[in-house]
Structures are given as C-alpha cells and as structure tokens.
Amino acid sequence: MAKPPLPGELLPQERQHEILQRLRSRGRVVAAELAVEFAASEDSIRRDLRELAAQGLCRRVYGGALPLSAAVAPLQQRRGEQVGRKLALARKAASLVREGQVLLVDAGSTNAAIASALPERMGLTVVTNAPDIALVLIEREGFEILLLGGRIDPHIGGAVGAQTLKELQRVRADLCFPGACAIDAGTGLWGFDSEESLLKRAMVEASGETVVVATSDKLGTVATHQVAGIGEVQHLVVEHDAGRALRATFSTHGLAVHRADPAG
C-alpha cells in the first residue's frame, strides 16, 4: 500500500485541497503558518491562496485568507430550512429587546422568526422593509408597525433601492437586526447583494445598537460587500453548538456574544 505524500511532496493542487480543508475547519488560515505545515515557501502558499480566491473558493486578506459564505437562497426556500435552529436563535435575540424600544428589522427568514418571538404588550415600534414580517406582527398585540416602501425584491423578500433608503433616513431606532449573510471577527458584517448591503448599512447607521443573529455556517466567513466593521456591532447571537474558540474571537473584539439554547 502506497504511503501518502509528505507535506513537502504535495503537488500544488493537492496542497490547495488541503488548504481548503483547513480553511473550512478553522475559519481562517495564515500564510506563514501554512508554509510551515506544508514545508513550502510563503510565496508558494500566497500563490495557492490567490488561485483559490480566483476560483471563488476563499477571500484573500492580509497575511492569509477567509472562507466565503454560501450564497443566499431565495426567501421562499430559506423559510423551510433550519427552522428549529432559527427559532432558538430568535428566542435569544428577542430577549435583548426592552420595553418601548424602536426596532429596525431587516428582511430574512431568521428575522421573521425574531418577529414571531418578540414579546407582546411592551410598546414596541417595529420598522421593517419586509412585508412578511409586517404581516406576522399585525396578527400580534401591542406593536406599532412601520413598513418601508420601495421596490420589493422577491429573492430578498423585502424592499430595497433608493426609495427605501430615503424613507429609512427619517428613522432613528434603538436596536437593529440586519440580516447576516456572513460575519467575521476581523472584518465585520458582509452581504452579497449591493443594494441590500447598502440598506443594511443604513440600518446600522440609524440605530443605537446592532444585533447580528447568525447560524453557525455564517460565522468566520465573508461575502462580497462589507456592511459594517466589527466595531459597529454590539451584540452577536449564535447557536448553542457554536465553538468556544470561535465565540471567543468575537468576544475579544468587544461584542457581547449570546448563545442560544439548544434547538428543540
């Protein structure tokens, strides 16, 4: 039986495959550390990372690389995915809300779950760009609802564009819940769609505090458009199974990390 090649004997394609495996398991890789692991020069590792980034398999950052988050599926599909996990996240996120607050709630299946979990009769005002979230709240007691207008993107499930941004500029909120496509402790919150990312950015700017609620697959990843730096996020709600080391990387950047209860 042939022995597996030693690290220094790997072909570039084999080494790139191993780098991807480490990227997915660790959440980030550092070129200098990979050079030691694979007994290769840092120039060779940087070339590997450039080639992986060109294939859309990672994002190059100073000194290494980050994994890319998976592209966001249409809202109709997302509604039926990870339902129990999103409900557990929603209950933890809703526990951060205080009486009389104004909330900005972005479109998305996790945020729709948060709307369902918000406590009633607390004098809450909810501003949202998502018709389905407004409908959820209409059926519950004690909410003032403001639906932002504009062009509805069926993939996103909410209004986006110039009109939506203009209406949002007249709003000041206590808390916002921007939908999270990806979040990394070093580079912040990310989105895939340019118009949607601009709206998320405006939500952060219009709010006193920002709460990011993210399933585990979005932690330690990046996407196409940066929404906010990590210093602009005050709270991160993660799943119960989010690793301690990964949670610690966010805590060290000043975020209050809230761990959801196990999904039922």
The identity of residue 95, as a single letter, is S
pLDDT in tens, 144-203: 999 999 999 988 899 999 999 999 999 999 999 999 989 999 899 999 889 999 999 999
Banded pLDDT at 113 (limits 50, 70, 90): very high
Strand, helix or coil for residue 36:
helix
What are the tokens at 110? Answer: 């996790």
For residue 2, the model assigns a pLDDT of: 45
Banded pLDDT at 217 (limits 50, 70, 90): confident
pLDDT in tens, 73-112: 555 665 656 678 899 999 999 999 999 999 999 999 899 9
CA 98, CA 123: separation in Å to the nearest integer?
A: 9
Task: Measure CA 18 to chain center.
Answer: 26
Q: If you ran DSSP here, which 8-state letter would residue 68 be given?
A: B
For residue 172, the model assigns a pLDDT of: 97
**Domains plus CATH for the chain?**
7-67 (1.10.10.10), 75-259 (3.40.50.1360)
Contacts (Cβ under 8 Å, ≥6 apart) of 14:
5
Section 238-242 average pLDDT:
93
For residue 8, the model assigns a pLDDT of: 62
CA 94, CA 194: separation in Å to the nearest integer?
A: 28
Pairing mode, strands 173-177 and 225-228:
unpaired
For residue 1, the model assigns a pLDDT of: 44
Print the SS3 string covering 133-175.
HHHHHHCCCCEEEEECCCEEECCCCEEECHHHHHHHCCCCEEE
Banded pLDDT at 11 (limits 50, 70, 90): confident
Section 222-251 average pLDDT:
92
**High-pLDDT (> 70) share of the chain, %:** 90
* C-alpha pair distances (Å), 215 with each of 28, 160, 182: 17, 23, 9
